[in-house]
Structure 1
Amino acid sequence: MNRLFDLFPSAQNDGINLMWSHRTNSRMLLERALSNSDIQLIEADVFLFEPSEEVVISHGHDEPSNFTLNDFIDIILTSSERKGLKLDFKSHAAAMKSMPLLQSFNNEDRLIEKVAILWLNADILGSAGNKPRILGKDFLEACARFMPHAPLSLSWATPYQSSDPNAIYTTEMVAEMIAITEQLTVPVTFAIRAGYVERSLEPLKVLLNAKETNTLSLWHAASDPVDELYVAGLEQLRNAVDKDKILFDVPAEALSRLRAA
């Protein structure tokens, strides 16, 4: 993450000052995010509508799209702007199909050097009996083979609403993630559902401290209310760790309350 703060000194080594464009899943939204000087980080979803062979920018079956990953990367490479990029793979097929394409764009690390940072994101582990969309072993092997220098963004399947007792990152879940990532040589940020943070503070601190390069990227699920518990959890975590170790892809309301705390 040091490279991010070097490129965006106005963030003052504090992840709360790096602004996201979330679910940037159309050409218009991408071009708008690239031209907006207030945005430093862009997140987009990658999906494959089988039996099609063309990977597209889409959140899934509820979001039809003809905006291909190929076109998306073309725009990134030809833009005069330099922003951070997270590609969130929404299915096993999408991830496996995308890796050779990303490799073809990344000759001599051209893509990785063009952007401020490129995270490859996937849910690789389950939670409370739920299976992940993408098998962790397959995803990590594909990343190592096709994009060996790209930082990773790794997470768990989180199907529960934030009010559910299962809406938690347990000690066991964190131990499993540490075990599967301890031999990785690229930096890892762990994508953490913000609505789960308040119940998960101690395990998340263990995860963050497991390796010096580990960071957390908090993301917001639209179904989770931005209530007192939500904000309190983020505030407690933010106060417990270094400010350059957490990114906040959460609503403006939550950011305002955190900054005022």
Structure 2
Amino acid sequence: MKCPSTGRKGVVIAVICAMAVICIALTVTLTVNRKSPQGTKQEDQGLLEVGPPFSTGGDMLDYLFNLRRIDRKDGLLVSWYHAANRKSEMEEALKSDVMALEADVTVEAHNTPNETDTPIMAHPPDIYSDNTLQEWLEAVLKSSNKAIKLDFKSIKAVGPSLDTLVKTSSQMNIDRPVWLNADILRGPNVPINIAVNASRFLSLIQEKFPNCTLSPGWSTLYLPFFPNKTYTQKMVEDMHSLVENLPQRITFPIRAVMARPAWPHLSWLLSQSDRYSLTLWQGKTDPVTVDDLLFIRKNSQPEQIYYDLFEPVLTQFRDLACEY
């Protein structure tokens, strides 16, 4: 920019020009600083990429795509951290680059004379923890943009936990997907019914915190080297009848080792609503094979299936899935 500089008028014009140059420079600097390079670990640097406002009941893949954590709507791209319960586990999860945190909720001193109605982060048989749900939510919301999945281990924890979510949402913006999970039906190989009360679980969510994604599953048992049954058509029909008229998105947790033999039934379930998806999960000793996962991949849409699996199976599967 060329500015005249002679006489009083020239001085005034020169000052105005200088101020304009400074404003332009500041605008450029602020614009550059606002943009973080894609692929950097912003959370490790304390710099969270802020996306547009997002509903707790919104689609997980939409959320991660908006944050540029994934480049397409594909459940295989979502990464998970299991059992981020105690503070040390939670802090490790928050420092990682995973996209979604799964944590277990029960009530303090569950089924003992000292039982309270305080929701804590613990997986049975643990009934005590150094982390309450309130503390967990505050830490996750303040220091990350990770999605949230809460796994309820008893019906006693559901009501107080939903109250905590409501209270937290009135104080902080829960600007990410919230999945609420419980095993609400008896599933394959389970000799006695240990499921969370289905009608109570679903009704409490509709009453207290309906803006979520439901994750209702089946209690399961798998023993290597023993005859094992899988999900039946009746099981999936019973589940569908419980949730078909609910308004939420629903992702059904499916034990991955049982998925392929049950695929005709699971495929039927997926076909009943475009709100439905599956989340394949793996027990630590479950012999999940890449071939079985590839079969499911080939017979479903990428946005219909999430893969919550252990290494090295997950990486082997991802590498081969990318070839198709």
Tell whether 2:160 aligns with 1:97: yes
Q: Which has the higher contact order (CA 8 A, sep 6+)?
A: 1
Shift in Å, 1:156:
0.4
Is the Cα contact below 8 Å between 2:106 and 2:127 reproduced in 1?
no
Distance 2:171 2:135 in 1: 20
**Is the partner of 1:198 in helix, strand or coil?**
coil
Tell whether 2:133 aligns with 1:69: yes
Corresponding residue to 1:56 among 120, 141, 145 = 120
Distance 1:153 1:166 in 2: 24
Return 5+ residue gaps in structure 1 as ranges: none
Shift in Å, 1:92:
1.3
TM-score, normalised on structure 1? 0.89
Distance 2:314 2:244 in 1: 31
Task: Decide whether aligned partners of structure 1 residues 109 and 75 sit closer, same or farther in structure 2, where only a CA change above 3 A counts.
Answer: closer
Quick check: which has more Rg, 1 or 2?
A: 2
Shift in Å, 1:5:
4.1
**Is the partner of 1:110 in helix, strand or coil?**
coil
Shift in Å, 1:34:
2.1
Distance 1:203 1:24 in 2: 32
**Is the partner of 2:274 in helix, strand or coil?**
coil
Shift in Å, 1:8:
4.6
Corresponding residue to 2:148 among 82, 85, 88 = 85
Which residue of the partner structure matches residue 310 of structure 2? Answer: 251
Is the Cα contact below 8 Å between 2:186 and 2:219 reproduced in 1?
yes
Distance 1:109 1:68 in 2: 17
Deviations 1:21-76 (A, max 9, x none): 11111222222222323x10110001122313321101112464221111101112
Which residue of the partner structure matches residue 181 of structure 1? Answer: 243
Tell whether 2:292 aligns with 1:233: yes
TM-score, normalised on structure 2? 0.73
Which residue of the partner structure matches residue 160 of structure 1? Answer: 222
Corresponding residue to 2:95 among 8, 31, 35 = 35
* Structure 2 counterpart of 1:17, one-letter code: L
Task: Decide whether aligned partners of structure 1 residues 155 and 164 sit closer, same or farther in structure 2, where only a CA change above 3 A counts.
Answer: farther
**Is the partner of 2:117 in helix, strand or coil?**
coil
* Structure 2 counterpart of 1:36, one-letter code: S
Shift in Å, 1:218:
1.1
Tell whether 2:277 aligns with 1:215: yes
- Percent identity over the alignment is 29
How many equivalent pairs are there? Answer: 253
Task: Decide whether aligned partners of structure 1 residues 3 and 162 sit closer, same or farther in structure 2, where only a CA change above 3 A counts.
Answer: farther
Distance 2:224 2:271 in 1: 25
Distance 1:147 1:110 in 2: 14
**Is the partner of 1:252 in helix, strand or coil?**
coil
Which moves more between the two structures, 120-129 or 137-146?
120-129
Shift in Å, 1:190:
0.6
